[in-house]
Amino acid sequence: MKLSRIAGARRGGVCRWVRHAAVLAGTLSASGASAATIAHWTFETDMIAGSATTGQTVSHPSANGLHDNAIPDLSGNGNHLSAFAQNGSFTAMLFSNVVAPNAQSGTTLSIENAPTACCGVLSTQDDLEVGGVNIGALPQWSIEASVNFKGVNGYQTIVGKDGFGEATNGDTRQAILYLQKTNTNVFRINFVDVQGYVHIADGTTQAAIGQWYHLSATSDGNSLKLFVNGVLEKSFDMTTTLSTDRSMAALNEAGFEGTGTVAPYGWTTHRGMYNDGHGDRVNGYIDDVRISNAALAPAQMLFVAIPEPATLALAGFAAMGIVASRRRA
């Protein structure tokens, strides 16, 4: 398990990053309620090989499409991830020592994917579970992930949830969920609710090659929010839509890609799904993916922005000036 530690400061700006010790626990306090971690993948080891090092392929001894538990779920719910392709075939998902500056979440490894060939993905076996029970539709949720791009062409889906036809009041070809970079290089959270309505929030940061971005998307059923590097970039009021239940649609566990029976639906990292076909693969590295069953407050997220010491000092001086002027008055 990764250690909680202060991140390296971003000297070019007014913020630095910190990862809270609380996120290592399976339960958080959110708005007075209990918020549980559904799944948390840090990509630090290979369950089949017994260990991992940079350049190592994520193990997948079974035939293409069969599920082999390789990437452990740290939540304790057993939502382990599998590669798709049998060892030696198609694209290999690789462990990499390219991590966020100063190992800012304690990480030593990420997972690299190159989208130039087939089948780069990590996926769950069917729906996510908590205590052995499928999560189904999610009234509230948070999804967090860190990404570093080697190329920024086109759509690239960092975390996805497979599906086809759920968006009955939107684009029926889209999947249930995308946490992605768009073709205009901004970050987006896009999901389908149980009534078939599509909800989208786009950020403003322009993604560039070779930089780590820490993304958090939350929904409390009323507001859809997208945070980039700890900063809220978009909040969308979902109550302005016609939907009366904005719970995220449940995964269709009977679904398969296209007309085949090789690729069952699941939750994914490194690729998305559109028109019942796989695509939008990430060209780069992903680390620290966590899914929770509540809309986390910023202070509960894996990465939050905190002021640099100089900024704090300026704020302190300003506060002192206000107090002094009040006293003179």
User: What local confidence, expressed as pLDDT, does residue 318 receive?
Assistant: 46
Residues 6 or more apart whose CB falls under 8 angstroms from that of 18 comprise 6, 7, 303, 304, 306
User: What local confidence, expressed as pLDDT, does residue 265 receive?
Assistant: 95
Cα-based angle 105, 106, 107 (whole degrees, multiple of 5): 90
User: What local confidence, expressed as pLDDT, does residue 219 receive?
Assistant: 98
Output the pTM of the full model. Answer: 0.86
What pLDDT digit, counting tens, does each position of 57-112 carry? Answer: 999 999 988 999 999 999 999 999 999 988 766 767 999 999 988 655 678 999 99
Dihedral, 134, 39, 119, 247 alpha carbons, nearest 10? 50
Cα-based angle 214, 217, 176 (whole degrees, multiple of 5): 120
**What tokens were used for 271?**
């690729």
Residue type, 15: C
Among residues 245, 318, 294, 282, which one has the least CA distance to residue 113? 282
User: What local confidence, expressed as pLDDT, does residue 23 receive?
Assistant: 45
- Which residue has 């920024």 as its token pair? 152
User: What local confidence, expressed as pLDDT, does residue 26 receive?
Assistant: 52
User: What local confidence, expressed as pLDDT, does residue 115 receive?
Assistant: 57
By the 10 Å C-beta count (0-12 exposed, 13-18 middle, 19+ buried), 309 is classed as exposed
The rounded radius of gyration (Å) of the Cα atoms in the chain is 20
**pLDDT beneath 50, residues of the chain:** 1-16, 20-25, 29-33, 310-329
Q: How many Å apart are CA 259 and CA 275, to the nearest integer?
A: 12
Residue type, 62: S
State the CATH class of domain 6-328: mainly beta
Q: How many Å apart are CA 219 and CA 298, to the nearest integer?
A: 13
User: What local confidence, expressed as pLDDT, does residue 260 receive?
Assistant: 76
What pLDDT digit, counting tens, does each position of 235-257 carry? Answer: 999 999 999 999 999 999 999 99
Q: How many Å apart are CA 209 and CA 316, to the nearest integer?
A: 37
274: enclosing H helix or E strand = strand 272-274
